[in-house]
């Protein structure tokens, strides 16, 4: 049995902390919930047996039994986060992606330290908010009948033509409906995010980011929308949820091989300030850009490589505590120990998705 710390969420540590004892039946596998603090933020964690948990990470092949336990774990993860959402009130609460573990609580504190800037920024931005989900579905045949009623010429057209016209009309209708729903709800929300449609009949599956005290107003607006389109659509209204759809923080341990290769491509020494890095990148672009080398077919490729390398080095540097400091002269280390200790955090996860798929550090 190998025990690790599973992180559910990070919360604001500046005022009253939630009463974890009040959480029914603790965390995953009934392990007690704990708090790990760093400066004014904190993580909610519980101990977990990793061997059992390995199959929970998406992408791995799971047996039927494992799938059951995966479902149970996911449910527990959601319950804990829902509980935290209720407890934190006006304060910030940030659910982390399901499946993030660190070797122990000390390591969790280190994650908080490394990712402090990003976590703090997200916490401030999402303070006092919740997620509310609207799903709407229609009955396509009913809609098509209505379209035919409104456009009798469709019936006369040849079948292929008519099919296309119907499809196009339905698509337009769908957009109109989605826009009508959105126009009513978006003024009461701060942001929105679309999730994949779960069935052919579903036309919208959208999460709204709503201030906690706006919830009653948003409820009323959803009621009004549901009444207005009662004839055409079936609605599902889910929430309040922690703001899952509005946080996209992925934490990855630094991938030394990739960072090192990029650093060397930019011809940087093992320690460099942000100014030095930027200037080295500019020099490379100025030297290799195809506009400067119209007769060199390889110039475009060299430019593309430099752009990619800079993206990786930038993501690495942004993850280091020194980056946000106004004193730009601080130097970043590209030594193996430094890179492997760092947690590269990128709010898009774009660079990191590649870091994950690429060579993993041994």
Give the gyration radius of the chain's Cα atoms: 25
Site track for another protein across 160-199, x = CB under 8 A: --------x--xx--x-----------------xxxxxx-
Question: Please, what is the minimum distance in Å from the beta carbon of residue 96 to another protein?
Answer: 21
Q: Which of 148, 232, 285, 338 binds another protein (CB under 8 A)?
A: 285
DSSP code for 186: G
Q: Which of 294, 326, 327, 362 binds another protein (CB under 8 A)?
A: 294
Q: Which of 300, 331, 333, 340 binds another protein (CB under 8 A)?
A: 300
Does residue 348 interact with another protein by CB under 8 A? yes
Does residue 291 interact with another protein by CB under 8 A? yes
Q: How many CA atoms lie within 13 A of 97 on its CB side?
A: 13
First to last CA, the chain: 22
CA–CA gap between residue 183 and residue 229 (Å, rounded): 14
Does residue 303 interact with another protein by CB under 8 A? yes
Site track for another protein across 192-231, x = CB under 8 A: -xxxxxx---------------------------------
Query: What are residue 120's phi and psi, to 5 degrees?
Result: -60, -45
CA–CA gap between residue 85 and residue 329 (Å, rounded): 40
Nearer to another protein, 197 or 335 (CB): 197
Nearer to another protein, 301 or 330 (CB): 301
Q: Which of 163, 286, 296, 358 binds another protein (CB under 8 A)?
A: 286
Kindly identify the residues of this chain, within the stretch 224-263, that bind another protein according to CB under 8 A.
none
Question: Please, what is the minimum distance in Å from the beta carbon of residue 8 to another protein?
Answer: 25
Question: Please, what is the minimum distance in Å from the beta carbon of residue 156 to another protein?
Answer: 18
Question: Please, what is the minimum distance in Å from the beta carbon of residue 28 to another protein?
Answer: 28
Q: Are 96 and 108 in contact (CB under 8 A)?
A: no
20 - beta bridge partners?
none
174 by Cβ neighbours in 10 Å (0-12 / 13-18 / 19+) ranks as: middle
CA–CA gap between residue 140 and residue 305 (Å, rounded): 48
Nearer to another protein, 335 or 350 (CB): 350
Q: Are 209 and 57 in contact (CB under 8 A)?
A: no
Q: Which of 39, 236, 264, 304 binds another protein (CB under 8 A)?
A: 304
Cα dihedral 72, 76, 77, 83 in deg (nearest 10):
160
- State whether the Cα torsion 358-314-121-255 is positive or negative: positive
Question: Please, what is the minimum distance in Å from the beta carbon of residue 304 to another protein?
Answer: 5
Q: Which of 170, 226, 308, 338 binds another protein (CB under 8 A)?
A: 308
127: Cβ contacts below 8 Å, ≥ 6 apart:
12, 90, 91, 92
Query: Which residues are near another protein by CB under 8 A?
Result: 168, 171-172, 175, 193-198, 278-279, 282-283, 285-286, 289-292, 294, 300-301, 303-304, 307-308, 311, 348, 350
């Amino acid at each position: 049995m190998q025990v690790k710390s599973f992180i559910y969420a990070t919360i604001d540590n500046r005022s009253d902390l939630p009463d974890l004892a009040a959480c029914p039946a603790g965390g995953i596998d009934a392990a007690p919930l704990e708090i790990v603090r760093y400066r004014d933020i904190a993580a909610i964690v519980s101990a977990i047996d990793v061997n059992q948990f390995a199959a929970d990470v998406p992408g791995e092949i799971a047996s039927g039994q494992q799938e059951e336990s995966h479902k149970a774990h996911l449910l527990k993860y959601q319950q804990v986060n829902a509980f935290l959402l209720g407890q934190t009130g006006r304060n910030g609460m940030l659910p982390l992606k399901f499946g993030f573990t660190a070797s122990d609580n000390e390591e969790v504190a280190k994650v908080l330290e490394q990712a402090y800037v990003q976590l703090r920024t997200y916490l401030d931005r999402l303070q006092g908010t919740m997620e509310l989900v609207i799903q709407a579905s229609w009955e396509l045949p009913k809609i098509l009948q209505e379209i035919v009623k409104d456009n009798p010429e469709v019936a006369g057209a040849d079948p292929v033509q008519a099919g296309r016209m119907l499809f196009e009309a339905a698509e337009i209708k769908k957009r109109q409906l989605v826009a009508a729903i959105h126009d009513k709800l978006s003024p009461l929300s701060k942001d929105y995010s679309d999730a994949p449609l779960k069935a052919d009949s579903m036309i919208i599956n959208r999460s709204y980011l709503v201030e906690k005290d706006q919830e009653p107003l948003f409820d009323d607006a959803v009621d009004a929308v549901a009444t207005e389109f009662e004839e055409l659509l079936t609605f599902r209204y889910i929430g309040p949820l922690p703001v899952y759809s509005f946080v996209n923080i992925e934490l990855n341990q630094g991938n030394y091989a990739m960072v090192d290769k990029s650093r060397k491509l930019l011809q940087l020494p093992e320690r460099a300030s942000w100014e030095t890095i930027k200037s080295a990148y500019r020099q490379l672009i100025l030297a290799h850009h195809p506009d400067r080398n119209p007769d060199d077919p390889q110039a475009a490729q060299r430019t593309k490589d430099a752009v990619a390398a800079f993206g990786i080095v930038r993501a690495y540097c942004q993850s280091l505590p020194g980056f946000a400091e106004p004193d730009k002269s601080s130097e970043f280390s590209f030594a193996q120990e430094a890179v492997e200790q760092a947690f590269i955090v990128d709010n898009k996860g774009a660079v990191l998705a590649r870091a994950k798929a690429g060579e993993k550090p041994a």
